[in-house]
Structure 1
Amino acid sequence: MKIYHPKRSRPKITVIGGGTGLPVILNSLKNKDAEVTAIVTVADDGGSSGELRKMFNTVPPGDIRNVLVALSDIPEKQKDIFQYRFKSEDKTMNGHSLGNLIILATSEMQGSIYQAIQLLAKMMYVDGHVYPASEEPLILHARYKDGTFGEGESQIGHPDKTIDYVSVSTTDPDQKTAKAGKKVVSSILDADMVVLGPGSLYTSILPSLMIPEVGQAIIDTSAQVLYISNIMTQMGETEGFSDANHVEVLCRHLNHDFIDTVLVNNAEVPKEHVAKMANDEYLFQVDHDFKKLEAKVPKIISNDFLNITEKGVYHNGDKVVEEILRAVSFNHRTLKL
């Protein structure tokens, strides 16, 4: 059992992930009394990010762009410009986000993706810290339970295959082992709480954890590690998964029961909404298995965290952050007593 120790009156919360889930939490954390750090996955190889990654052998900028916007205090009009996606008959530009191109250009000017992010964070009045999990693009590898293998973040999900294990490597044939980016490890070790998710289990959360230095830091940190369980299962990744299955996969990948708290949505997604989404990326609502969860995790927080929109089912960022801050405050108060 970890012994938590208060390090500061303003708690430091480090959030690890990618995709659409990470900005939701960061946006809600932004105006709270906490020091926020975002560690962003760099294994994306699809869409605009994937194309730019291949053209320039660069870290995919899409998730970084969304995180900068989520933590930014610039006016909404300026955010809209940064997020603008070209609609052009010219295939070279069509589909690319202006922010992705700005990140790429700044990276070339500054000589590194790390320096580029720090400069853009200042320009965008970002309240917090943003670090890429690695400063080089990573390749996500999957081993399936039938003994076959797959490669690529956008390619490993198959409806007819079950993922058994994922790992990451660099694109450099002479240096395959991925290295953590600057300040990533220290941000984990010095945190009061490390938050994982919400996000795709195999393609948003695990890619960062499978960087050896990052995985070890997660195990070694004295911070409370909190996992936000997914609301819906995902096609090609987590069909038939319960919340306990998600936790089991995370722990198995690090060969350690490292999760201290799990946030679980206990509100039911309306059946008509599930039916509407069934043929898309998502399948069904994640089942609950509290008995197995209790065997793996010391603390379970269940509540209505639903935010249903026309685009899909998401976590209610404000409600999730309320529980995160309550958990951090509780640990601090208990130890001061």
Structure 2
Amino acid sequence: MTHANKPRYKVAVIGGGTGLPVILRGLKNLDAHITAIVTVADDGGSSGVIRDYINVVPPGDIRNCMCALSEADSTLIDLFQYRFNTDDDFFSGHAIGNLLIAALKEMKGSLSESIEILSKYMHIKGDILPAAPEPLILNALFEDGTIAVGESKIALHRKKIQEVNVMTIEGENAIAAAPNVVNAIMEADLIVLGPGSLYTSILPNLMIKEIGEAVNSTQAHVVYICNIMTQLGETENFTDADHVEVLHNHLGGTFIDTVLVNTTEVPADYIINQPNEEYLLQVKHDFDGLRRQGCRVISSEFLSMKAGGAYHDTDKVVEELKHLLETAKLNIKNQNSWNKCPIS
């Protein structure tokens, strides 16, 4: 979107799920142009139903990012997020924003144009880009040699994942990023990964060939916001270093510069009372392992317990990201003045 004063910095945030909007809400207050690059491999819930009936990328994560970056009246945001209840039969479970995104795409024939139109009405501060121009299918290869097809199916297998990849609907490797995505990565001062599900929110973006290559070659400083909790069927028993190792292995190089790690203990009663057991345990720390992978570690009390969940504290995380923008010379990656530091 166009602003009267050109922002000082450029920040690209890559991910999906519920974690990405948490950070975007704070980032929009910085003196920076924000670009949210959002996964298009979601095949569950309202998004999954819509992508099955209409040739459009799953709109749910795009909708949530729009609301996070919106400066519109709260009533309009609430309407955009409103989800029909179970008594509405056909509309049951669908969010109004999802339907609007799908309808505009069908009207205009272009997802980018539909997002641009809605962004004007929603007074979006920044840009929201789907990672790819078409819906993709996420596949997981497990260590026992079996394969799961579809993002929503992966965690159900409860097996250790060896690697994931993304394919087009036609069964071809996902090569092309959506328009402007690669430019946003290459021109960024700071790239933020997460927070979000490692295998189903972050990696589906990075495994698109053009995006993976851009992240590996950009001069931007790359920050990974490590999850607070492990996830059932994805990252059981993972340390923070395990998360980073998986990312590095998938892209074939050490591209993460800084890792943000929460040090506040999650209350035991929260873990015990998880109804669906999606979140099992708190992610364990392995600071030596992170440093061996060339990462600077910023550890702090990033935990925020709200709405019955363990989330990252938006203000504290954004404060650290702001500090990186203001103090690091981000235009030359790995330059001598940016030494890998001990835990701060």
Does TM, scored on the shorter chain, surpass 0.5? yes
Task: Give me the TM-score of the superposition, normalised by structure 1.
Answer: 0.94
In the alignment, the residues of structure 2 paired with residue 186 and residue 333 of structure 1 have an alpha-carbon distance, to the nearest angstrom, of: 16
* Paired position in structure 1 for 2:96: 98
- Alignment partner of 1:19 out of 17, 35, 51: 17
Which letter does structure 2 place at the counterpart of 1:120?
L
Q: Are positions 1:302 and 2:299 aligned together?
A: yes
Gaps of 5+ in 2: 1-5, 338-344
Q: Are 1:159 and 1:235, in contact at CA under 8 Å, matched by a contact in 2?
A: no
Q: CA deviation at 1:135?
A: 1.2
In the alignment, the residues of structure 2 paired with residue 334 and residue 205 of structure 1 have an alpha-carbon distance, to the nearest angstrom, of: 24
* Paired position in structure 2 for 1:197: 194
In the alignment, the residues of structure 2 paired with residue 193 and residue 230 of structure 1 have an alpha-carbon distance, to the nearest angstrom, of: 19
In the alignment, the residues of structure 2 paired with residue 209 and residue 277 of structure 1 have an alpha-carbon distance, to the nearest angstrom, of: 30
Q: 1:9 to 1:69 in 2, by over 3 A?
A: closer
* Paired position in structure 2 for 1:34: 32
* Paired position in structure 2 for 1:3: none
- For 1:173-223, what per-residue CA distance to the aligned partner results, in whole angstroms no more than 9, with x for missing partners? 4x5434100100000000000000000000000000000000000001000
* Paired position in structure 1 for 2:176: 179
Q: Are 2:219 and 2:331, in contact at CA under 8 Å, matched by a contact in 1?
A: no
* Paired position in structure 1 for 2:328: 331
Alignment of 1:1-337 (within 5 A): 10-158=8-156, 160-173=158-171, 175-277=172-274, 279-332=276-329
In the alignment, the residues of structure 1 paired with residue 132 and residue 174 of structure 2 have an alpha-carbon distance, to the nearest angstrom, of: 11
1:69 is paired with a residue of what secondary structure?
A: helix
Task: Give me the TM-score of the superposition, normalised by structure 2.
Answer: 0.92
Worse-matched range after superposition: 288-297 or 150-159: 150-159
Which letter does structure 1 place at the counterpart of 2:185?
I
Worse-matched range after superposition: 113-122 or 140-149: 113-122
* Paired position in structure 2 for 1:4: none
In the alignment, the residues of structure 2 paired with residue 314 and residue 242 of structure 1 have an alpha-carbon distance, to the nearest angstrom, of: 17
Q: Are 1:262 and 1:297, in contact at CA under 8 Å, matched by a contact in 2?
A: no
2:92 is paired with a residue of what secondary structure?
A: coil
Q: CA deviation at 1:57?
A: 2.9
Q: CA deviation at 1:159?
A: 5.5
Gaps of 5+ in 1: 1-7
Q: Are 1:192 and 1:224, in contact at CA under 8 Å, matched by a contact in 2?
A: yes
In the alignment, the residues of structure 1 paired with residue 55 and residue 143 of structure 2 have an alpha-carbon distance, to the nearest angstrom, of: 31
1:239 is paired with a residue of what secondary structure?
A: coil
In the alignment, the residues of structure 1 paired with residue 89 and residue 178 of structure 2 have an alpha-carbon distance, to the nearest angstrom, of: 33
In the alignment, the residues of structure 2 paired with residue 254 and residue 181 of structure 1 have an alpha-carbon distance, to the nearest angstrom, of: 19
Worse-matched range after superposition: 141-150 or 151-160: 151-160
Number of equivalent positions? 328
Q: Are 1:277 and 1:312, in contact at CA under 8 Å, matched by a contact in 2?
A: no
Q: CA deviation at 1:20?
A: 0.4
- For 1:138-173, what per-residue CA distance to the aligned partner results, in whole angstroms no more than 9, with x for missing partners? 000000001110010110113531111000011024
In the alignment, the residues of structure 1 paired with residue 330 and residue 51 of structure 2 have an alpha-carbon distance, to the nearest angstrom, of: 46
1:89 is paired with a residue of what secondary structure?
A: helix
In the alignment, the residues of structure 2 paired with residue 33 and residue 90 of structure 1 have an alpha-carbon distance, to the nearest angstrom, of: 43
1:277 is paired with a residue of what secondary structure?
A: coil
Which letter does structure 2 place at the counterpart of 1:213?
E
